Structure 1
Amino acid sequence: MVYQAAENRYESMKYNRSGRSGLQLPAVSLGLWHNFGGVDSFENGRAMLRKAFDLGITHFDLANNYGPPAGSAEEMFGQVLKKDFAPYRDEMVISTKAGYYMWPGPYGDWGSRKYLISSLDQSLKRMGLDYVDIFYSHRPDPNTPLEETMAALDAVVRQGKALYVGISNYSAEQTAQAIEILNSLGTPLLINQPDYSMFNRWIEDGLQDVLEENGVGSIVFSPLEQGLLTNKYLTGIPADSRAAKPTGFLQENEITPEVVARVQKLNELAAERGQSLSQMALAWVLRGGKVTSVLIGASKVSQIEENVAALNNLEFTHDELKRIDKILK
C-alpha cells in the first residue's frame, strides 16, 4: 500500500526552537544508531519510521557509521525516503555526522576537511539526497586544528550540501571555541549533541551555560542510559537485553545492586506520576526547557509510541525533583 502520513501528525507533538535559530525540532527525535542497519529487519525499521512521522517526529538523526555495517542505516533510510517519504521531504529534518572510522587509510576518520566533506558526499549518495538539514562533526579531533574542522562545516553549507551545522561529543570549552570560529565564518552553530540522562549529568557543569549564553540548541542522546532507565532491568538482566551482549555499550557489571535499587525507586516515583520509568526519564531530560530535543532509539513500534507519550506530562513539582536528586545521590 502507498504510505500516507497521518493527517493529525502535528496535533500532539511539541516543537522547540533550536537556540536562537529559526529551526524548530520535535521534542522527541528518532535516532537510527541501532536497529536500522543491514543486519536488521527492513520492514520493522520501515514501520518504526512511519509510526514516528505519524506521531509528529519530523527529525531523523543518522551518522555515516550507523548500522551495522557502517553506512547501512543511511542506505536503509534512503530506501524508505524513496518508497514512503519522498512527498514529505520538506517536512523533515534529516541529519548525519562524520568523525568516526569509515574507511582505511589516513582520510577515513576524525576531523580533517578532506574526511568530513568526502564523508558527507558519500552520505548524500547513500540516502539519495541533494542536502541534509544538519551536518555534524561527530567528535573533536585532537590532531586537527579546530579551525579546519569548523571551516569544513562552513564549506558544506556554502556548497549547499547542508542547511545547518552541529557538533557532538564536544566539551564546554571546545564548544565555546567552535561557536567563536563558526561565528567568524558566518555560519553559526545550530546545535550540540551530547549524552545526557538522570545518571549522566555532565552537561549541567558548564556546557548548558555555554549553549544558553550563545543561543545554541541541544539534542541529547542516551537519555535512557542504554535501557537502564526503563523497566527492563528492574528484576534482573534479560537474555535479549543490551547488557547481556558482550558487544553492547551497557555492560553487565554496571548493573550493580545499588544501581538497581535506584532504578526501582525511580520507577516507583514514575508510577505515582502515571508514567513509565522511561517516560519520566525523558520528561526529566526535557524539564526546564534547556534541552531542545531528546533522541530516542527503538527496536519496535510500541517503544516509539510509549516514548512520545512522555510529552503528556512534562511538569515536575519541586518535591518530585528533590526526590529524584536524593535517589540519584
Structure 2
Amino acid sequence: MPIAADDPRLTRPFEAAATRYTDVPFQRAGASGVQLPKVSLGLWQNFGRDRSFDSQREIVLHAFDRGVVHIDLANNYGPPYGSAESTFGAVLESGLARYRDELFVTTKAGYDMWPGPFGDGGSRKYLVRSLEQSLQRMNTDYVDVFYSHRVDPDTPIEETATALADIVRSGKALYVGISNYPAPLAKRAYELLAEQGVKLLLHQPRYSLFDRTPEAELFPLLRELSVGSAVFSPLAQGLLTRKYIDGDVPADSRAANSFFLNGSALTDGYLDRIRGIDRIAQEANLSIPQLAIAWVLRDPVVTTAIIGASRTSQIDDAVAASQVTLSDDVVAALDEFAAPVGGSVS
C-alpha cells in the first residue's frame, strides 16, 4: 500500500553512498548488455509482515550502498503473499525511488497466489494480472525482469512464452526470465521467445554445494544459448553456515521456523559434510557462507548469486565473498563434502 503523506518514514531522507560501485564486481548476463552485481538480494523469507519495516528498510538500503543493486522478488513472497513486494514498494517510496534507474528489480509469477483457476500456473490470464498487481504493490511502473516462476504442466508453453513476450512489448518488463525450468523446457522457452523477437535473459535455478543439479544439463545449455543465470539458495537454506554444526536447532533459526527446512535435515551425513566444509573454510580464511558463495560464483555461467539477509552483516559477508577467487586446490577439496556433480545431497 502507498505510504500516507504524513507517515514519518517519508521524513528520513536517503542519500546513497558515493562508494556504492566500488565493492561488488559486476558480470554480464550471457551475451546481453545487462551487467549484474555478482551477489543480489532476494526478499523471499525475511520481508513479510512478521518483521519490522525499519529493519527491512535498513537491509535494502545497506545492500544498495554496497552495490547490491539487484533486488529479487516474487508475487507470493512474504509471509503473507504479496507482503515482500509491498515492503519493497514502501522502501522505494521512503527514499530509494530516486535511484530507481540504478536498481535492477525482478519479480515472478507461477505458484499459487489467489484462489481459483486463475491464481496459479502459467496462463496468460494469471501472468498478466499478477504482474499488474505486483507493480501496484511495488509502486513502480515496470520491472527489469519478469520471470515465469515454474513450468505449468496444464498450460501450453507456447501460451506462457507469448504472454511473456507481450509483457515485454508492453513495457511493463524490460526482459524475460524463467525459473525452475528443466533444460529441455528451458530450451523450448528460449526458442519460442526468440521466434517473437524476445531474448531470454536469465534462468533462475537452485544451486549450491549441496545441490549441483544444474551442472548436468542446465548450465551446459545456458552456455550454448548465452543465457545468464541468477542462482538461488547458495547457502542451502542456511545449511551452509555454522548455525547447525553442533547438531542443534537454534530457536531463531530457519530450520526451527521454515516450511522449507526443518531439523530432519541435520543428519549425521550432513554434520560430517558441514564440518569438513568448515575445516576447508578456516584454512582459506573464510566463513562457510563466504566459501559457499564464492564456490557458486566460480563458474562464469553464474551471473549472480541471490542471497537472503536478516541483518546487514550478512550482506557484507556476501560482498566480501564476491571478491574471492577460490584456488583449484580448494575447489577440489570441497568435492569430498559437496553433492556429486549434477546431483544433490539427499
Whether TM-score is above 0.5 comes out as yes
State the one-letter code of the partner of 1:250: L
State the one-letter code of the partner of 2:256: A
The answer to whether the aligner puts 1:242 opposite 2:242 as a matched pair is: no
Q: Which residue among 318, 321, 328 is the counterpart of 1:307?
A: 318
Checking the alignment, whether the CA contact within 8 Å between 2:30 and 2:301 is kept in structure 1 is no
Aligned equivalent of 2:172? 161
The answer to whether the aligner puts 1:291 opposite 2:302 as a matched pair is: yes
Q: Which residue among 192, 196, 201 is the counterpart of 1:190?
A: 201
The 5 A counterparts of 1:1-329 are: 1-235=12-246, 236-245=248-257, 247-313=258-324, 315-328=325-338
Point out 4+ residue stretches in structure 1 off by more than 6 angstroms.
none
Distance 2:75 2:299 in 1: 32
Checking the alignment, whether the CA contact within 8 Å between 2:31 and 2:227 is kept in structure 1 is yes
Residue 288 of structure 1 deviates from its aligned partner by 2.7
Distance 1:217 1:26 in 2: 13
Aligned equivalent of 2:7? none
Checking the alignment, whether the CA contact within 8 Å between 2:190 and 2:199 is kept in structure 1 is yes
Residue 317 of structure 1 deviates from its aligned partner by 2.1
Distance 2:326 2:190 in 1: 32
Q: Which structure has greater helix proportion? A: 1
State the one-letter code of the partner of 1:299: S
Structure 1 residues 243-273: Cα deviation after superposition (integer angstroms, max 9, x where no partner): 123x431121111012111101101111111
Distance 1:54 1:27 in 2: 15
Distance 2:56 2:289 in 1: 21
Residue 304 of structure 1 deviates from its aligned partner by 1.2
Residue 107 of structure 1 deviates from its aligned partner by 0.6
Residue 282 of structure 1 deviates from its aligned partner by 0.1
Indicate the percent of aligned positions where both proteins have the same amino acid: 53
Structure 1 residues 48-78: Cα deviation after superposition (integer angstroms, max 9, x where no partner): 0010000000100001001111011111100
Structure 1 residues 160-214: Cα deviation after superposition (integer angstroms, max 9, x where no partner): 1000000000001110111110110111100000000000000000100111100
Classify the secondary structure of the residue corresponding to 1:233: coil
State the one-letter code of the partner of 2:98: P
Q: Is there any run of 5+ residues in structure 1 with no aligned partner, and where? A: none
Aligned equivalent of 2:344? none
Checking the alignment, whether the CA contact within 8 Å between 2:110 and 2:121 is kept in structure 1 is yes
Question: How many residues align structurally?
Answer: 327
Checking the alignment, whether the CA contact within 8 Å between 2:29 and 2:35 is kept in structure 1 is yes
Distance 1:303 1:21 in 2: 29
Output the TM-score relative to the length of structure 2.
0.93
Checking the alignment, whether the CA contact within 8 Å between 2:145 and 2:176 is kept in structure 1 is yes
Structure-2 change in CA distance of 1:70 and 1:52 (3 Å): same
Classify the secondary structure of the residue corresponding to 1:290: coil
Residue 39 of structure 1 deviates from its aligned partner by 2.1
Classify the secondary structure of the residue corresponding to 2:178: strand
Structure 1 residues 62-114: Cα deviation after superposition (integer angstroms, max 9, x where no partner): 01001111011111100110112111000010000000111111111000000
